[in-house]
């Protein structure tokens, strides 16, 4: 996975292949990568891919407040969390939307150069679908892609300047 995600400075072109490979390893209906900006306390959806027939989509480029969000919690604590459907209803920015089938969220920080730069989130329609082996695997996947995502963010910021 690290080889796929670091195959280009333009990481956006590698995200779909990365998601497909991750989907072969761990069961989920949606994979989302959010990159954070600590200065503005906001996150941006860098990539999202849905598998199956879930009608709820997440727009790439969509921004959100880190306050009271799973991403914000993960970035602040630097810990992987598993959020059940019931717990999700308590967190405003991931509250189940009408028609959403997702029952569990697994979110892990993306850490590059000892700094949380984002969050990798998997969503599943199976309640309590994820176990310790899945959590360990997702942490490893996040570690593999965090460096490339950090470099890509710097590259994008330099191009925009």
- Per-residue pLDDT reduced to its tens digit, 62-75: 888 888 788 898 99
CATH of the domain at 82: 3.30.450.40
Higher pLDDT among residues 90 and 96, named by residue:
90
- DSSP states of 146-160: HHHHHHHHHHHHHHH
Read off the pTM.
0.81
Domain carrying residue 99 = 2-160
Q: Could you give the CA distance from residue 77 to residue 74 in angstroms, rounded to a whole number?
A: 5
- Closest by Cα among 83, 124, 70 to 102: 124
- Closest by Cα among 31, 113, 32, 111 to 76: 111
Give the bridge partners for 104, in sequence order. Answer: 84, 124
Q: Could you give the CA distance from residue 56 to residue 68 in angstroms, rounded to a whole number?
A: 20
Tens digit of each residue's pLDDT (9 = 90 or more) over 45-65: 988 888 877 656 678 888 888
**Which three-class secondary structure state does DSSP give residue 29?**
coil
Does the structure show a pLDDT above 70 at 154? no
pLDDT at position 120:
94
- Closest by Cα among 133, 68, 67 to 106: 133
Counting the structural domains of the chain, the total is 1
pLDDT at position 127:
65
Q: Could you give the CA distance from residue 57 to residue 98 in angstroms, rounded to a whole number?
A: 12
């Amino acid at each position: 996975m690290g080889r796929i995600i670091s195959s280009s400075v333009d990481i956006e072109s590698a995200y779909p292949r990365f998601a497909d490979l991750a989907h072969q390893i761990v069961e989920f209906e949606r994979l989302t990568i959010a990159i954070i900006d600590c200065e503005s306390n906001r996150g941006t959806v860098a990539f999202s891919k849905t598998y199956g027939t879930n009608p709820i989509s997440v727009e790439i480029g969509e921004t959100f407040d880190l306050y009271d969000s799973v991403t914000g919690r993960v970035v602040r604590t630097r810990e992987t969390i598993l959020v059940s459907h019931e717990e999700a209803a308590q967190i405003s920015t991931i509250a189940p939307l009408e028609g959403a089938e997702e029952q569990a969220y697994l979110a892990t920080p993306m850490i590059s150069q000892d700094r949380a730069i984002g969050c990798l989130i998997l969503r599943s329609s199976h309640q309590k679908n994820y176990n310790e082996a899945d959590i360990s695997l997702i942490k490893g996947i996040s570690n593999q892609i965090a460096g490339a995502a950090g470099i890509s963010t710097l590259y994008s910021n330099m191009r925009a300047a």
